[in-house]
Structure 1
Amino acid sequence: MLTDYERKVLRILFNYSSGRRRLPTIHELTVKTGKGELDVMAALDGLIKAEYINWEDKSDTSNLVILEGWERESEKPKLPKVPPPSRPSDLSYWTEY
């Protein structure tokens, strides 16, 4: 399961590459996330370990390859299923005062 910050960096990488046809630099990632360079590098390392991205030559982010742009369904937290509230009838609102 990705941390919120890793998920944010992954979404920035994916959306940036889709819109601008290139990957953001480390400086652009620090500006977009509001965190320092060490935090960005730690998030990128986490994405590499989780196999969301591949980054062989770490001299530049243009060498980065996005393997998966979204978080995996199996890793998303599951919400509890809540039954819908039962209402007797909508007609009772108009007929019972």
Structure 2
Amino acid sequence: MLPDPERKLLRILINYPSPVHKSRMPDFRRLEMMTGRRRPDLLIGLHYLEDHGFIVWPDKSVTDGIQIIKTEELEKSSPKRNIDYWTKY
């Protein structure tokens, strides 16, 4: 499970590219505004995501080259369903 700041950063990176944003990643200034974190903290978060295999970030000076490899949903297990309530009562 990802820590909250890194999970938030990953969610932004996953959801940001769209036709409205011309299918590109947000720059550092935009990430600072969206996360409320400063650039050094963002760099730490991006390195954390890269070290744990969530993103690939070849050019560390810009965010345009970030590629998402996996999302945190892959780590979650499926919810357990309790159907006994509906079948036995």
TM-aligned CA distance change 1:72 to 1:56, over 3 Å: same
Structure 1 residue ranges, 4+ long, deviating more than 3 angstroms after superposition: 76-84
Q: What percent identity do the matched residue pairs reach? A: 36
In the other structure, the counterpart of 1:49 is: 51
RMSD: 2.3
Q: Which amino acid aligns with 2:72?
A: E
Secondary structure at the counterpart of residue 11 of structure 2? helix
- 1:55 deviates by 0.6
Structure whose alpha-carbon radius of gyration is higher: 1
Mapped to 2, the partners of 1:25 and 1:7 lie a distance apart of: 18
Which segments of 5 or more consecutive residues in structure 1 lack a partner in the other structure? 89-97
What's the TM-score once normalised by structure 1's chain length?
A: 0.71
The alpha-carbon distance between structure 1 residues 64 and 72, as it changes in their structure 2 partners (threshold 3 A), is same
Aligned partner of 1:8 in structure 2 is 8
Mapping 1:1-97, distance limit 5 Å: 1-18=1-18, 20=21, 21-68=23-70, 70-74=71-75, 76=76
